Amino acid sequence: MDRWFLIAATTLAAVAGVRGLLILRHGNKSLWTVWWMIAALLCQMGYLVIRGEMRGACPLRSIGEISVYLAWALTLFYLLVGPMYRISLLGVFTAPVVVLFQGFALLPGRLAANPEKILNTSPWGETHSAMSVLAYGALALAAVAGVMFLVLDRQLKEHHLKSGLFRNLPPVRELLVSLERLLWIGMILLTIGLVAGLLMPHGDGAWAHLIAAVSVWAGYLALMAVKRIRGITGRRFALGAVALFILSLGVFAFV
Amino acid sequence: MELVCLGLNHKTAPVEVRERFAVGNTKLGEAARSLLETAGAAEGVVVSTCNRTEFYLAAEDAGEALRRLEDGLAEKVHGHMEPFYLHRKADAVRHLCKVVSGLDSMLLGETEIFGQVKQAYQAAHEAGATGPILNKLFQKVFGIGKKVRTQTSIQEGSTSIGNVAVELAEKIFGHLKDSEVMVLGAGEMSRLTAKALVSRGAKSVIVANRTHERALELAAEMNGRAVRFDDWLPVLKDVDVVISSTGAPHTVIHAKDIESVRRARKYRPLFLIDIAVPRDIEHAVGEIEEVYLYDIDALEQLADEARARRSQQIAECEKIIEAELVKLF
């Protein structure tokens, strides 16, 4: 049953992305994108509830489960902060990333049909997992905003201003402000997750994961510090957010 | 009861003829009442803008009403009625639909005309010059005008250099209320462009001109401040938009100038508008990451493209109007 919810959520996100893109090509805004994404979120939550019941804990024990949780966090942040952007357009950029993460989870062998029940859970461990992946949702959305900025920046620099995409993209300054806010939210959540990770009981094998997580955290901190103290061009800031997010996914290799 | 429209506009009459028939906003109601008396019509509305004056009449004997109206107008054109056009019945409604949709405007798709016709109708209504025929007609036509504007791209894009600059500035900075503008060279083009930015809420304007007195004048007009021409570079660290039109035979803003203030600006986006010929801003400036540089050709091209896009929409607009007219008759 959990898999069906996930398939439904993936299909709904794919519809949101494809339909939004087609409408965008004609220079219009898709007012339905947000509703498709809300429906996708409800299906994701259906999956999480069933999977959580099966695990007896937060379903974050395999790379497949982490991918779905990440897609859920990304959708949630999109729906929470979307009104700051042109909501339908952000949805068009967000939906493919959601499809990518969930599509990855749906690959054979990523989600066990009968997952092992977790008997001894640690509150610090649960906090670490939930907060960290939630942080990744915010950071993923920051990367999406970064891509939107890079597209707009290129169009403005090269005077390619005829497309429907250009007309519907939010202004440069708004994108940069939203990008910075999302990075701050992600950083705060990631810090909580990291502290919880240090406090949770862990074996020797967890050090590689911890070092990778601290490196990601330090990378984002450096980017934010440069932006605040010295200043940085919008293009480098956006590229930094996108690159750091892609690199940060490597942390899950140590899960 | 028959509907008639007699009028003249920028296509049929030069300004020296149009101005003889122009009616001020405050006198539109009075003009509509006087139209009823002159033509002996049952209902009437007078639409008057800088580009047109049109008389809309509903009369039992439209031929007689027209004859009387033409007699009244002929005096002002010494009997030469050629600049006037006449639309009757459905044609008059079709024409009014095109007028409110901006299809008959000098600047295709402009939005101001909608409000102007609405104001003319309101004035006539308040003066008691309208009745069931024109009340129903104008209400219906306003609905059609709105439909045309929302269902087509007839009013999309900017068709003047000033408005293109404003549109780009808004694409970069969003609301302009936090944006500071610097004007280099106090010529007419800079004045118009700066004025367009101020009208959209730009926070402040700083003017630098070789003749400082002229800079002071323009700054006063824009509620801004003037700086000596030699002092424009230190100001650059605080501004978001620069409009340059100095008339200098060589470039005035160089890449090294922008490089020198980048750090102080914290690499914030900078929009440079070069409307000078020869150009004021070195080409290499556009290669600096946070700089968006547009010269007069780029702005003109964008305005041309918007005009072309609007022209392509005419057939679509006319299709909507015809479909609505079928419902009306």
Domain ranges of chain B: 2-154+313-328, 161-304
Interface membership of B213 toward A (CB under 8 Å): no
Mean pLDDT is lowest, of A76-85, A131-140, B124-133, for A76-85
Q: How confident is the model at residue A122 (pLDDT cuts 50, 70, 90)?
A: confident
B50 catalytically annotated: yes
Q: What's the token pair of residue A136?
A: 């990744």
Asked whether A37 and A78 are in contact (CB, 8 A), the reply is yes
Asked if residue B83 lies in contact with residue B17, where contact means CB atoms within 8 angstroms, the answer is yes
- A10 contacts A64 by C-beta, under 8 angstroms: no
Classify residue B179 by its DSSP letter. -
Q: Distance (Å, rounded) from C-alpha B146 to C-alpha B124?
A: 21
For A161, the closest chain B residue by CA position comes to B302
Residue A87 pLDDT greater than 60, yes or no: no
Per mean pLDDT, which of A161-175, B63-77, B149-163 is the most reliable? B63-77
Query: In terms of CA atoms, which chain A residue is nearest residue B175?
Result: A171
pLDDT given at position A54: 85
Predicted local confidence at residue B144, as pLDDT: 96
**Residues B283-288, mean pLDDT to the nearest whole number:** 96
Distances (CA, A) of B53 to A219, B21, B64, B109, B113: 67, 6, 21, 18, 12
Exactly one of B5, B50, B97, B317 is catalytic; name it. B50
Q: Is B297 on the interface with A (CB under 8 A)?
A: no
Give B101→chain A minimum CA distance, Å. Answer: 20
Of A156, A159, A236, which is closest to B172 when you measure between CB atoms? A156
The answer on pLDDT for A85 being more than 70 is no
- Inspect the interface and report whether the beta carbons of B289 and A233 lie closer than 8 Å: yes
Is the CB of residue B267 less than 8 Å away from at least one CB of chain A? Answer: yes
Sheet bearing B52-59, strands edge to edge = B43-48, B52-59, B2-9, B85-88
Handedness of CA A225, A228, A230, A234 (dihedral sign): positive
Q: What pLDDT, on a 0 to 100 scale, did the predictor assign at position A254?
A: 61
Q: In this predicted structure, which of A18-32, B12-26, B270-284, B297-311 has the lowest mean pLDDT?
A: A18-32
The set of long-range contacts for A27-32, using a CB threshold of 8 Å and a minimum separation of 24, is A27/A163, A27/A164, A27/A167, A27/A168, A27/B153, A28/A164, A29/A86, A29/A88, A29/A89, A29/A168, A30/A88, A30/A91, A30/A92, A31/A88, A32/A88
Contact criterion met (CB < 8 Å) for A174 and B174: yes
CB distance A165 to A151 below 8 Å: yes
Is B20 part of the contact surface with chain A (CB cutoff 8 Å)? Answer: no
pLDDT value at residue A42: 95
Contact B294 A159 (CB under 8 A): yes
Instruction: Tell me what percent of the residues of chain A surpass a pLDDT of 70.
Output: 95
Average pLDDT, chain B: 93
Residue A30 in tokens: 């898709």
Rounded-to-integer distance, Cα A186 and Cα B181, Å: 35
Look at residue A48 in the predicted model and tell me its pLDDT: 87
User: Which of A45-49, A51-55, A71-75 is least confident?
Assistant: A51-55
Q: Which residues pair with B208 in a beta bridge?
A: B184, B227
Q: What is the mean pLDDT of residues B81-109?
A: 94
A82: pLDDT strictly greater than 60: yes
Chain A hits for B265, CB-CB cut-off 8 Å, are 231
All residues at 6 or more sequence positions from A207 whose CB lies less than 8 Å from its CB, including other chains: none
Q: How many CB atoms lie within 10 A of CB B296?
A: 16
- Under a CB-based contact definition with an 8 Å cutoff, are residues B207 and B181 in contact? no
What is the model's pLDDT at position A235? 97
Query: A148-174: per-residue pLDDT in tens?
Result: 999 999 999 999 887 878 888 889 999
Between strands B270-274 and B291-295, the pairing is parallel
Report the side by side order of strands in the sheet with B204-209. Answer: B225-228, B204-209, B180-184, B241-244, B270-274, B291-295
Answer yes or no: do A156 and B292 touch at CB < 8 A: yes
Q: Which residues of A touch B163 (CB under 8 A)?
A: none
Cross-chain CB nearest to A231 (options B171, B267, B286): B267
Does residue B67 sit at the A interface (CB-CB below 8 Å)? Answer: no
User: Closest Cα partner for A16 from A90, A114, A81?
Assistant: A90
Residue type at position A224: M
Chain A interface, best mutation among B150, B177, B271, B290, by max A CB count within 10 A: B290
Q: What is B161-304's CATH topology? A: Rossmann fold (3.40.50)
pTM (whole model) above 0.80? no
Residue of A nearest to B295 (CA): A159
**Average pLDDT for A199-216:** 81
Nearest-neighbour CA in chain A from B304: distance (Å): 12
- Whether B121 shows a pLDDT value over 80: the answer reads yes
Q: What confidence score (pLDDT) does residue B62 get?
A: 92
pLDDT at res. A83:
62
* Residue ranges of domains in chain A: 2-111+122-254
CA distance A88 to A72: 18
Q: If you average pLDDT over residues A223-243, what whole number do you get?
A: 96
Interface residue of A26, A154, A172 to substitute, partner B, most B CBs within 10 Å: A172
What is the pLDDT averaged over residues B31-53? 94
Whether A231 and B266 lie within 8 Å, measured CB to CB? yes
What tokens appear for B281 in the block? 């801003």
Greater model confidence, A113 or B263 = B263
Report the gap between the CA of A28 and the closest CA in chain B (Å): 10
Q: Which residue of B has its CA nearest to A177?
A: B173
How many CB pairs below 8 Å do chains A and B form together? 52
- Kindly report the nearest CA distance between residue A37 and chain B, in angstroms: 26
B117 near B99, Cβ under 8 Å?
A: yes
Residue A63: pLDDT over 80? yes
The pLDDT of residue A61 is 78
Rg for chain B, CA atoms, rounded: 25
Q: Is the ipTM of this complex over 0.85?
A: no
Say yes or no to pLDDT of B139 above 60: yes
Are A173 and B267 in contact (CB < 8 Å)? no
Q: Where are the alpha helices (DSSP H) in chain A?
A: 2-25, 33-55, 63-81, 87-106, 123-157, 164-168, 172-199, 206-225, 234-248
B205-251: pLDDT as tens digits: 999 999 999 999 999 999 999 999 999 999 999 999 999 999 888 99
Residue A91 has pLDDT above 80, yes or no: yes
What is the CATH code for B2-154+313-328?
Answer: 3.30.460.30
**Residue B267 carries which side chain, given as an amino acid letter?**
Y
Contact A235 B294 (CB under 8 A): no
Which pLDDT band holds residue A86 (cuts at 50, 70, 90)?
low
Average pLDDT over residues B46-75: 93
Q: Is B247 on the interface with A (CB under 8 A)?
A: no
Burial of A189 (0-12, 13-18, 19+ CB in 10 A): buried
Instruction: Name chain A contacts of B286, Cβ cutoff 8 Å.
Output: 157
Interchain proximity A171–B170, CB inside 8 Å: yes
Does B76 touch chain A if contact means CB atoms closer than 8 Å?
A: no
pLDDT of residue B43: 96
- Which structure tokens are listed for B69? 């109206």
Question: Residue B13 is which amino acid?
Answer: A
Contact B266, A230 (CB under 8 A): yes
Q: Are A69 and A59 in contact (CB under 8 A)?
A: yes
d(CA B21, CA A143): 61
Mean pLDDT of chain A: 87
Q: What confidence score (pLDDT) does residue A84 get?
A: 62
Strands B225-228 and B204-209, by their bridges, are parallel
